[in-house]
Chain A
């Protein structure tokens, strides 16, 4: 299969998936308990008023008609209004999205760097101390719930050791947020050389990132270890050694490079779980990202944000999957050239 045909097929698939997601997001409002019109007006509104509101919101039209209107609005960037925050959902979303991205990226970076190093160390000395640590982390990652780990870390580092700030947001209250460039506080404070904000944002980021990072850490470590063991026992590694390549170069240039291929696809898979985990972590650490926003919207039966988030997260997910596939394509010559 040529590269172009492969790309074409993936894009066609993406369009289908996005269409499916939009239908699900749209129908969600009709499935969720409660009446959007009534929830806006409150329990004391008369039935007449509610009917008027329904007509105003277009809820009296047929489903296909409503879908077309809905999608038309979405494409114009109108995701409806949140009655809880009184803001357009799109605005709320843009405001909170960077916080989630910052959290997810930090967690992923942590998981990849730690997971790959630990996996390599475990493979190099099987049954050594790092191998046991990897096994332990694997058990922890599978059996311990995220919020439990988060609470444990808070108790240890905040209440007992007093080395980290209380889990209330992204910055100390007396520190001003850095000038907005990317919306990621750590990056922005670095870019603007705002050391006070950098220090504070890092301190606030550490625990949530570690908590969220534990989730993908275990599978990444396990996959790296297995792929490294296989690579290290391969003839092409033996051949590289026979050529006189130093041990470090054999491990990094030959073995790791081959072992990373399955690890990349594993990281892609983990991104999905990361989104789910982020909701929980944001609740535990009152991290004002879209996870916390979603949680509060669900509690308050705020339909527009829920609907939009399902749509956006779904599309994002599909795009990430595509990106990971493309990456796979770029790094593995067996797929790239035939």
Chain B
């Protein structure tokens, strides 16, 4: 396979459980003090033109992972490579160039737009920072971006509070597109929208991808949309990826007991409820207190003796289908001698 656009390797992000002090040290050392293990050793790749889905319950570390990839947070350990650049070490001009190529649309678009600036100022900012347009050209490009996300020229003089939720979302998308990035993190881009708007925004994103070839990391609670749009999906539980495979395999042939439970919990489409959250029996343990052994053992109905003492690693159970569960240890043994 051709080399990936983005590769995340053994990425960790621990937060101090008291105060907002940055933690320093290896994950092994830090674990002594019971930190919040928001991202706990994550490895995956995203390819060009790909939409990569990231699903999991609230608080499992999806947004933190997205922010670490973009260096909006400094990872505790691990590496992020983008093309042939090391994102975690880049600085100065190289980091700036990376920022041009990697963008993000935040979960709550309204909150991600400065209330003091017009749409025009918001969209012109990235052009100015990266020297992509000047004077007249800025205006032309702003109009072009508005058009690309289905907004009218008159919207450029509006302030965020004068826009609807759907329009704010489009502005946030337009801002991410302004620098013509190769990769965009979409952090629950539809969760603040009602169902009819969801589909238009999803169509819009799809359309942008078809015309620009951008790759997405789509973080979402909405399994229906993930199934619809993603090429591959990773399932996250308490800071770690427990299963990763092509979308069809995840939805039709889920291996991990957690993935199976997630999929079983997809609500029947009901126009009267706006169910967004994944509902699963029991509460997940706190990320500051992850069970030793398999992190899912406290809620798993297949739990075995081994699960309590040993941590399963993410291994290939079928071609292109990796899972972290001892139920598939056969595959592990078969794969080992080769």
Interface residue ranges, A against B (CB under 8 Å): 126-127, 234-236, 238-245, 254, 257-258, 332-334, 337-338
A239/B175 in contact, CB under 8 A: yes
* CA gap between A236 and B95 in the complex, in Å: 19
Cβ-closest chain A residue relative to B112? A235
* CA gap between A240 and B130 in the complex, in Å: 13
Q: Using known A-B contacts A236-B112, A236-B114, A334-B115, determine if residue A243 contacts B129 with beta carbons closer than 8 Å.
A: yes
Which of B100, B115, B116, B118 is in CB contact (< 8 Å) with A244? Answer: B100
Q: Which residues of B contact A243 (CB under 8 A)?
A: 99, 103, 125-126, 129, 175, 179
Q: Using known A-B contacts A126-B20, A242-B104, A244-B126, determine if residue A236 contacts B113 with beta carbons closer than 8 Å.
A: yes
Say how far A255's CB is from chain B's closest CB, in angstroms: 9
Say how far A191's CB is from chain B's closest CB, in angstroms: 35
Q: Which residues of B contact A238 (CB under 8 A)?
A: 67, 72, 104, 106, 112
Interface residue ranges, B against A (CB under 8 Å): 19-21, 67, 70, 72, 95-96, 99-100, 102-104, 106-108, 111-116, 118, 125-126, 129-130, 159, 161-162, 172, 175, 179
Q: Using known A-B contacts A244-B130, A245-B129, A333-B159, determine if residue A258 contacts B115 with beta carbons closer than 8 Å.
A: yes
Say how far A226's CB is from chain B's closest CB, in angstroms: 15
Say how far A159's CB is from chain B's closest CB, in angstroms: 44
Q: Using known A-B contacts A240-B125, A245-B125, determine if residue A337 contacts B114 with beta carbons closer than 8 Å.
A: no
Q: Which residues of B contact A245 (CB under 8 A)?
A: 125, 129
| A-side interface mostly | helix
A258/B19 in contact, CB under 8 A: no
* CA gap between A239 and B96 in the complex, in Å: 14
* CA gap between A254 and B126 in the complex, in Å: 14
Q: Which residues of A contact B161 (CB under 8 A)?
A: 333-334
Sorted nearest first, the 4 A-B pairs with minimum C-beta distance are: A244-B99, A235-B112, A235-B111, A236-B114
16 new A-B contacts at CB < 8 Å, known A236-B111, A333-B115: A235-B108, A236-B115, A239-B104, A239-B172, A242-B104, A243-B103, A244-B95, A244-B99, A244-B129, A245-B129, A257-B116, A258-B114, A258-B115, A258-B116, A333-B159, A334-B159
Say how far A88's CB is from chain B's closest CB, in angstroms: 49
A254/B19 in contact, CB under 8 A: no
Q: Which residues of B contact A337 (CB under 8 A)?
A: 159, 162
Q: Which residues of A contact B20 (CB under 8 A)?
A: 126
Total number of residue pairs linking A and B with CB closer than 8 Å: 69
Q: Using known A-B contacts A235-B106, A334-B159, A337-B162, determine if residue A241 contacts B115 with beta carbons closer than 8 Å.
A: no
* CA gap between A333 and B130 in the complex, in Å: 27
* CA gap between A85 and B104 in the complex, in Å: 71
* CA gap between A141 and B104 in the complex, in Å: 44
Say how far A241's CB is from chain B's closest CB, in angstroms: 6
* CA gap between A235 and B160 in the complex, in Å: 14
Which of A126, A244, A254, A333 is in CB contact (< 8 Å) with B96? Answer: A244
* CA gap between A235 and B162 in the complex, in Å: 18
Q: Which residues of B contact A333 (CB under 8 A)?
A: 115-116, 118, 159, 161
Q: Using known A-B contacts A235-B108, A337-B162, determine if residue A242 contacts B114 with beta carbons closer than 8 Å.
A: no
Q: Which residues of A contact B104 (CB under 8 A)?
A: 238-239, 242
A242/B125 in contact, CB under 8 A: no
Q: Which residues of A contact B129 (CB under 8 A)?
A: 243-245
| Residue with the highest number of chain B CB atoms closer than 10 Å, among A127, A242, A254 | A242
Cβ-closest chain B residue relative to A254? B114
| Residue with the highest number of chain B CB atoms closer than 10 Å, among A127, A239, A240, A257 | A239
Which of B99, B107, B130 is in CB contact (< 8 Å) with A242? Answer: B99
B19/A127 in contact, CB under 8 A: yes
Say how far A96's CB is from chain B's closest CB, in angstroms: 41
Question: What are 13 of the A-B contact pairs (CB < 8 Å)?
Answer: A127-B21, A235-B112, A236-B113, A236-B115, A238-B104, A238-B106, A239-B106, A241-B72, A242-B70, A244-B96, A245-B125, A258-B116, A338-B162
* CA gap between A127 and B20 in the complex, in Å: 10
* CA gap between A258 and B161 in the complex, in Å: 14
Q: Which residues of B contact A254 (CB under 8 A)?
A: 114
Q: Which residues of A contact B175 (CB under 8 A)?
A: 239, 243
* CA gap between A236 and B21 in the complex, in Å: 22
* CA gap between A239 and B187 in the complex, in Å: 12
Cβ-closest chain A residue relative to B179? A243
Say how far B265's CB is from chain A's closest CB, in angstroms: 28
| Residue with the highest number of chain A CB atoms closer than 10 Å, among B106, B108, B116 | B116
Q: Which residues of A contact B96 (CB under 8 A)?
A: 244
Say how far A192's CB is from chain B's closest CB, in angstroms: 40
